[in-house]
Amino acid sequence: MKTRVVRFHELGGPEVLRIETLDLAAPGAGEVLVHMEAIGLNRAEAAFRQGHYFEPPQLPARIGYEGAGRVEALGPGVAGYAAGDAVCIIPGFSMNRYGVYAERAIVPASALLPRPPGMSATDGAAIWMPLLTAYGALIDITGLGPGEAVLITAASSSVGLAAIEIANAVGATPIAVTRGTAKVAALKQAGAAHVITSDTQDIAAETARITGGRGARLAFDPIGGPIVDTLANALGVGGALIVYGNLSGQARHMVFPFGPSALKGITMRAYLVFEIINHPERYARARQFVLDGLGAGRLRAHIDRTFPFDAIVAAHRYLESNAQVGKVVVTVGS
């Protein structure tokens, strides 16, 4: 069987992505062949393409963590799914072994979840990575609760919007941080109780004003680099700073904010969603939290824009433009 897939043969910008026709083998033990319907794009994939991800790509490399489609064939030993089942794909694998930027993709069965009844493929490709990531930091690790404030940087990202919804779901106060004023209205509409524009406002001072001097319980940050010192100063006594990305490109050389951390007993740690996915009990709790929230209407997919599969380069350019509010999704034809 032949199928079209996206690969890159060199590191670089979106232009290195190529759509190629390749032979596709039958799924092996523990694997499933999925007819892709939609692909959710993530900044991790852009970093992988550039060689800036924690896992260097093995060229020529496939790419893609998240999507939705229908089961086409099962490999030996796979139970619980049947041909035609609507499924979501979560990032439970290495992109050096699997990649879902394709018309058909083989993935490990462990990376599948049944698509909630009635949910579209585009929504199914946009829910799990953001919501699991935000749940892990806000609920599983920190135990955020009613009345506590959470600072959410890069708040217009799909993970940022998921964090806003989860904070509201548990009665916490989401404080969105964005650079300028262009996305303020969209963030408030998405549920942010407060929005701080970091280009014109002092994050620590504004957080103190909003919280009556208490500071935030949690800062949830994908940027890293110099901003961690600013965020530490915005936290209250016993607060937590969780860094889950490296948008600054400087996370590997971050300086631990010793002063405010020592004075206020702040904890700082790195976090990736794989920590939740790879722990069966924590993953089960996370899935149930998300499904309950989706069912109750407290949580939803936030899709900014969709692109057709043949426009994958344009989709990646848009992903890196920082213009979006929510998820960028690529649709795959039948």
Question: pLDDT tens digit string along 153-192?
Answer: 999 999 999 999 999 999 999 999 999 999 999 999 999 9
> What are the Cα distances from residue 209, in Å, to 11, 85, 147?
45, 51, 15
**Per-residue pLDDT at 174:** 98
Contacts of 262 (CB under 8 A, 6+ apart): none
Dihedral sign of CA atoms 34, 35, 40, 42 in order: positive
Cα–Cα distance measured from residue 80 to residue 199, given in angstroms and rounded to the nearest whole number: 50
Q: Name the pTM for this structure.
A: 0.95
Please give the sequence-ordered ranges of beta strands (E in DSSP) within the chain, or none if there are none.
2-8, 17-23, 31-40, 61-62, 66-74, 86-89, 104-108, 112-114, 149-152, 173-178, 194-197, 216-221, 235-243, 267-270, 303-308, 327-331
Same domain for 39 and 21?
A: yes
288 falls within a domain: no
Percent of the chain whose predicted confidence (pLDDT) is above 70? 99
Same domain for 56 and 153?
A: no
Same domain for 122 and 134?
A: no
CATH code: domain of residue 31 = 3.90.180.10
Is-contact 6 102, C-beta < 8 A?
yes
Place of tokens 């229908």: 70
**Per-residue pLDDT at 259:** 81
pLDDT above 80 for 52:
yes
Cα–Cα distance measured from residue 82 to residue 171, given in angstroms and rounded to the nearest whole number: 39
**121-149: average pLDDT:** 97
Same domain for 74 and 210?
A: no
Domain that holds residue 97: 2-127+302-331
Cα–Cα distance measured from residue 301 to residue 24, given in angstroms and rounded to the nearest whole number: 31
Cα–Cα distance measured from residue 160 to residue 231, given in angstroms and rounded to the nearest whole number: 16
Pick from 32-41, 205-214, 325-334: least confident: 325-334
Percent of the chain whose predicted confidence (pLDDT) is above 90? 91
156-185 core/surface letters (b: 16 or more CB in 10 A; e: else): bbbbbbbbbbbbbbbebbbbbbbeeeebbe
Q: How many CB atoms lie within 10 A of CB 226?
A: 11
**Per-residue pLDDT at 260:** 81
Contacts of 44 (CB under 8 A, 6+ apart): 53, 65, 91, 245
**Per-residue pLDDT at 334:** 57
CATH code: domain of residue 235 = 3.40.50.720
**Per-residue pLDDT at 161:** 98
Chain segment 270-329, per-residue pLDDT in tens: 999 999 999 999 999 999 999 999 999 999 999 999 999 999 999 999 999 989 999 999
pLDDT above 80 for 233:
yes
Same domain for 151 and 111?
A: no
Same domain for 221 and 306?
A: no
3-state secondary structure of 138: helix
Q: How confident is the model at residue 251 (pLDDT cuts 50, 70, 90)?
A: low
Tokens of 51: 């060689």
Same domain for 198 and 228?
A: yes
Q: Give, to the nearest 10 degrees, the angle between helix 312-319 and helix 43-50.
A: 100
Is-contact 293 299, C-beta < 8 A?
yes
**244-262: average pLDDT:** 79
